[in-house]
Structure 1
Amino acid sequence: DKEHRHKDHKKDKEREKFKHSNSEHKEHSEKKHRDKDKERLKHSDSSSDKHRQKHKDRDKDKRREEKGIKHKKKIKDKKGTDGKKVKKEEEEKWKWWEEERYTDGSKWRFLEHKGPVFAPPYEPLPGKVKFYYGGKPMKLSAPAEEVATFFAKMLDHEYTTKDIFRKNFFKDWRKEMTSEEKSVITDLNKCDFSEMSEYFKAQSEARKQMSKEEKQKIKEENERLLQEYGFCIMDNHKERIGNFRIEPPGLFRGRGDHPKMGMLKRRIRPEDIIINCSKDSKHPKPPPGTKWKEVRHDNKVTWLASWTENIQGSIKYIMLNPSSRIKGEKDWQKYETARRLKKCVDRIRAQYREDWKSKEMRIRQRAVALYFIDKLALRAGNEKEEGETADTVGCCSLRVEHIKLYPKLDDQEYVVEFDFLGKDSIRYYNKIPVEKRVFKNLQLFLENKQPEDDLFDRLNTSILNKHLQELMDGLTAKVFRTYNASITLQQQLKELTCSDDSIPAKILSYNRANRAVAILCNHQRAPPKTFEKSMQNLQNKIDEKQNQLSAARKQLKAAKADHKASHDDKSKKAVEMKRKAVQRIEEQLMKLQVQATDREENKQIALGTSKLNYLDPRISVAWCKKFGIPIEKIYNKTQREKFAWAIDMADKDYEF
């Protein structure tokens, strides 16, 4: 008992410290455990076993404690749940943020998993489904037929009408053909995939019409695969894997006008896969008759498997789920770095303003670029091989053609107009007034340049990142985006939230604050295809509710008149009932109206990207706790799992 009390006391102290998480705590924690880590590393052979044993012992203690708690709760649970199963979700949640972190650069001590799930093998088309060339049916070899089906499945998509897509597809398709097929099939325009396309549409329709039992069977098989391959053991804890299925082969689409669209994404085989696990774990077995490319034991990385895809030559990884310790720690670290920027951002701003006057052109260019990254939350923009990717740019790679200068525009002075394609080929268009010195510098940078020349010809991403690193350890353009996004959310919530508002009205304020951030970060989307229809349905509900309210008010008026005439208890109760009905319908109507406003305002803004990647979740959690908003209204179940550390850590007074 003493030991348990001591542990509880220790845990409470730790929790208190983490609640007010800051750099001081981290330094203290690291110092405190540095010697322990050195000691562990000295005995590296036995470290995994000892570490796992330590976790096992602690887990046993935890289980004993929990058993005691469960025992006390048993009677209450039985009474309160009417025979339903009690969710153990809360009790089983591993609070990794309350434990010490590795300070030697390692990410884990023990890692065991089953490896990836491969795409099913190709099933040839039934004999009755034919491919036609020049109007005549033609039997294709299995490899050629498989690639033809990829095109057939996309026949109704605008991609298949694009010249670059068709050219790349045909070139790669011919590589899969036999020499005989190559000699016959020489023109894509003579190919007829329509019968194949109709077959796949019918298949898709049949899947939609499946019986409940058939759907259940598929669901059970997916669940079996998830249980077998979707989890790993990391440092004695069962952790969910994010993407344990290998992507099937298909045609590369890319975003925007990607020069490689239409190329064949090849089937990934076990021989392409590098497995990463601990030496003392049970290694994953490759499918029968195959072998892995390599098995590694690198605990300085967080991936479980990797391979190189054939289109861009980039490395793909199987990683843990966002709710895992590894991902959570990375998120937490990201927001702590942005909070460190808050402490020195004034100094950095003063520095770049001073640099606008520098005698060196390269320093002036660097200072103006940094001003844009800070003020407009622009991405830095990486150098790319020409013709390898779509023509997208960031701050450092802006060209003369991407900006226009207006000494005066619409009653504003020194206006810069930006127009370029950013990440994922999303257009960035903005007219923004800038400071006079920035404007004069831009005029200088544009002198004697052609439209296709670089605006910042003395600057690239690596030069900028090196400079940012000198200003603050760990500083990048993304840290500026994270800082500006989070600080904007916090300020907007303070300005927009009224404590007297109803919960739906407060949530509307939250979404408006979130939208201000999404606009800052240029997170756009095309309005959903069903937008008009869903808005019409919502408007119909509003009209219906208004009619109900009108009828309820009439009934209340009649009840009041009745009570005035009779003055008895029965009529008094009737008035009260009708009043409550009016109140209830008014609340329902307001909810629907708020929903309509919210949906209309956000039809072209993607709120999710900033909410999940740029906004410190502790700001939202603190706001919920301060104004009594259920966290479920802001974060769905998956998001709550991802941000469990923030939900537990932040109190109502948390400041970014």
Structure 2
Amino acid sequence: MLYELIHHGVVVPEPPKPIGLTIRVRGQEIALTPKQEEMALAFARKKDTPYVQDEVFVANFMRDFSAALGIEPPLQLDEVDFGPCYAYIEAERAAKEALSPEERKALALERRREREALKARYGYAIVNGQRVELGTYMVEPSGIFMGRGQHPLRGRWKEGAQQRDITLNLGPDPSGIEGEWAEIVWQPESLWVARWKDKLTGKLKYIWLSDTAPIKQIREAQKFDKAIELEERLAAVRQEIERALAAPDPRRRMIATACYLIDALCLRVGDEKEPDEADTVGATTLRPEHVVLHEDGTAEFHFLGKDSVEWHKTLRLPEQVLANLRELIANARPSSTEGNGGHPTRDLPQIFPDITSRDVNAFLSEIMPGLTAKVFRTHHATQAVETSLEGAHVKPADPEYVKWKAASLANLEAAILCNHTKQARGDWTLAEVRYKERRQKAQERLERSKEQVRACREALSTLKEAMRQEMEGADDAQ
């Protein structure tokens, strides 16, 4: 609980300075307004990336760009000449490359000073008498929504929040805060500093205290304490889930089966979706096409998980779980609950219809107070990290890079277990080519250096031999 939260608000980025570009649209010259220009340049910067080959991405952007231009019906990509935008971006790039090392260093120093000044004022808060860092202090600027995977909104224009859209959490005395904010509230039970509604998705976005904030670490510790408690009671918890797998009540059997999969596969529940999100899946939103039961007693799971990350695993299941899954798949039907945020896929046959995270967590809390599906993932990920670190055999006296490597590999094990992945950037293929080219050039420089070292050693050896012979000749002359 907070009794004091003092800060200066958050930084709303300034829009880019207008350039005064003109483009041709359906054969006519159009002088762009600052907002239209910002959108056109943002799209032009995606040139030569896979995004402009994505029909959904292009169609979504062109629809929003057409609306900004006041044009109906929406434009097709080939009806707009973005040439002046490409030319400006290329000239901008060439100007940067033409800078001397001294000029680049001066610009980098100036940018660093600006960042440090902003962080000094906005990057910290006084929390219960302590100065703590914020996770970030900058509101997201306007830009093209990229999404992850096959997100249906990819390519849409996402307008950034302004001060008038942002609510600050500040108190107990908010006097002295500058700016025209939407609202200033005091929620001492919350750890957020600012929030606003995303103008595209309608979701609330937050700026939080940093993970290093003592009060936040206390809450994080509570999460891991619950995972430790689960470790101590894991055998009993699993025994209760297995007992419920054969319960006379079909609904209880269904919930127990979902809980078994959450434990065994480290799955999310899966019903935390909005209607406009991608078709991603978790335990309770599995559909028959996501599961194949093989004759050898294994089950193959294949679907898109959170953030459209592919999830594909095969494992051997107990006979009771297989029997339950056969029955559930045979009787799959659309869900009638409000779970899954009313997502359209709710109208497709579900293996666990009408089962939500509330049902799962209520069932688990019967077995162990406070136990949720998320605690299983925290526990399993923690175990993966612990096992990896123990296997690394790192000693306190080892160099820092050895410790970093061990920690990174341990986190990788947890990421693999939880099916976490980082999305490749849009120009990944091009970046990979550039990396290989740089690596090749570095290898060539290394070989040249080795050759120079060999030549120097040979010259040194020759010189030493000549000096030895000269000294022997001098001795003979005496």
TM-score (structure 2 length as normaliser) = 0.80
Match of 1:497 among 393, 398, 407: 393
Match of 2:277 among 389, 402, 408: 389
Runs (5+) with no aligned partner, structure 2:
335-347, 455-478
**How many aligned residue pairs are there?**
429
- Which residue matches 2:31? 139
Contact 1:242–1:321, Cα closer than 8 Å, also in 2: yes
Task: Quote how far apart the aligned CAs of 1:183 are.
Answer: 6.5
Greater Cα shift, 525-534 or 229-238: 525-534
Deviations 1:142-164 (A, max 9, x none): 33333222222223332233232
Contact 2:271–2:357, Cα closer than 8 Å, also in 1: yes
Match of 2:51 among 129, 154, 159: 159
In the alignment, structure 1 residue 301 sits paired with structure 2 residue 190: yes
- Which residue matches 2:141? 248
Match of 1:322 among 208, 211, 214: 211
| Distance in 1 of aligned mates of 2:264 and 2:442 | 38
2:284 match: secondary structure? coil
Contact 2:332–2:353, Cα closer than 8 Å, also in 1: no
| Distance in 2 of aligned mates of 1:510 and 1:317 | 29
- Which residue matches 1:116? 10
Letter of the structure 2 residue corresponding to residue 430 of structure 1: K
Letter of the structure 1 residue corresponding to residue 207 of structure 2: I
- Which residue matches 1:464? 360
| Distance in 1 of aligned mates of 2:229 and 2:439 | 43
1:407 match: secondary structure? coil
Contact 1:372–1:395, Cα closer than 8 Å, also in 2: yes
In the alignment, structure 1 residue 436 sits paired with structure 2 residue 319: yes
| Distance in 1 of aligned mates of 2:91 and 2:291 | 50
| Distance in 1 of aligned mates of 2:167 and 2:113 | 29
Q: Pairwise mapping of residues 56-67 of structure 1 onto structure 2 (< 5 A)?
A: none
Q: CA RMSD in A?
A: 3.3
Task: Quote how far apart the aligned CAs of 1:502 are.
Answer: 7.6
Match of 2:67 among 159, 175, 183: 175
Contact 1:320–1:326, Cα closer than 8 Å, also in 2: no
| Distance in 2 of aligned mates of 1:278 and 1:433 | 54
Match of 2:350 among 454, 457, 463: 454
2:17 match: secondary structure? coil
Residues 481 and 537 (structure 1 numbering): CA distance in 2 closer, same or farther, change over 3 Å?
farther
2:37 match: secondary structure? helix
Match of 1:478 among 355, 371, 374: 374
Residues 220 and 525 (structure 1 numbering): CA distance in 2 closer, same or farther, change over 3 Å?
closer
Match of 1:230 among 118, 123, 130: 123
Residues 316 and 521 (structure 1 numbering): CA distance in 2 closer, same or farther, change over 3 Å?
same
| Distance in 1 of aligned mates of 2:311 and 2:228 | 27
- Which residue matches 2:475? none
TM-score (structure 1 length as normaliser) = 0.59
| Distance in 1 of aligned mates of 2:237 and 2:363 | 11
- Which residue matches 1:40? none
Contact 1:305–1:317, Cα closer than 8 Å, also in 2: yes
Letter of the structure 2 residue corresponding to residue 352 of structure 1: I
Task: Quote how far apart the aligned CAs of 1:350 are.
Answer: 0.3
In the alignment, structure 1 residue 284 sits paired with structure 2 residue 167: no
Task: Quote how far apart the aligned CAs of 1:122 are.
Answer: 3.7
- Which residue matches 2:459? none
Letter of the structure 2 residue corresponding to residue 239 of structure 1: V
| Distance in 2 of aligned mates of 1:374 and 1:165 | 36
1:257 match: secondary structure? coil
Contact 2:63–2:74, Cα closer than 8 Å, also in 1: no
Task: Quote how far apart the aligned CAs of 1:435 are.
Answer: 1.6
Task: Quote how far apart the aligned CAs of 1:532 are.
Answer: 5.3
Contact 2:56–2:155, Cα closer than 8 Å, also in 1: yes
Contact 1:428–1:522, Cα closer than 8 Å, also in 2: yes
Deviations 1:484-527 (A, max 9, x none): 1212332344455387x986788766655544333221223468
Residues 191 and 224 (structure 1 numbering): CA distance in 2 closer, same or farther, change over 3 Å?
same
Task: Quote how far apart the aligned CAs of 1:184 are.
Answer: 9.9
Letter of the structure 2 residue corresponding to residue 321 of structure 1: S
- Which residue matches 2:466? none
- Which residue matches 2:19? 125
In the alignment, structure 1 residue 220 sits paired with structure 2 residue 113: yes
- Which residue matches 2:41? 149
Deviations 1:223-248 (A, max 9, x none): 11111111122222211122211111
| Distance in 2 of aligned mates of 1:330 and 1:204 | 46
| Distance in 2 of aligned mates of 1:481 and 1:193 | 47
Whichever structure has more helix as a proportion of its residues is 1
Runs (5+) with no aligned partner, structure 1:
1-105, 409-413, 551-656
1:317 match: secondary structure? strand
Task: Quote how far apart the aligned CAs of 1:330 are.
Answer: 2.1
- Which residue matches 1:419? 302
| Distance in 2 of aligned mates of 1:542 and 1:444 | 64
Contact 1:110–1:281, Cα closer than 8 Å, also in 2: no
Task: Quote how far apart the aligned CAs of 1:428 are.
Answer: 0.5
2:205 match: secondary structure? strand
Deviations 1:43-77 (A, max 9, x none): xxxxxxxxxxxxxxxxxxxxxxxxxxxxxxxxxxx
1:390 match: secondary structure? coil
Match of 2:254 among 356, 361, 365: 365
| Distance in 2 of aligned mates of 1:245 and 1:506 | 32
Letter of the structure 1 residue corresponding to residue 115 of structure 2: N
Task: Quote how far apart the aligned CAs of 1:537 are.
Answer: 8.3
Residues 395 and 184 (structure 1 numbering): CA distance in 2 closer, same or farther, change over 3 Å?
closer
Contact 1:361–1:458, Cα closer than 8 Å, also in 2: no
Q: Pairwise mapping of residues 167-206 of structure 1 onto structure 2 (< 5 A)?
A: 167-177=59-69, 182=71, 186-206=75-95
- Which residue matches 2:234? 345
- Which residue matches 1:556? none
Residues 433 and 316 (structure 1 numbering): CA distance in 2 closer, same or farther, change over 3 Å?
same
Contact 1:252–1:263, Cα closer than 8 Å, also in 2: yes
| Distance in 1 of aligned mates of 2:305 and 2:12 | 34
Contact 1:418–1:429, Cα closer than 8 Å, also in 2: yes
Contact 1:399–1:454, Cα closer than 8 Å, also in 2: yes
| Distance in 1 of aligned mates of 2:328 and 2:448 | 60
| Distance in 1 of aligned mates of 2:238 and 2:72 | 66
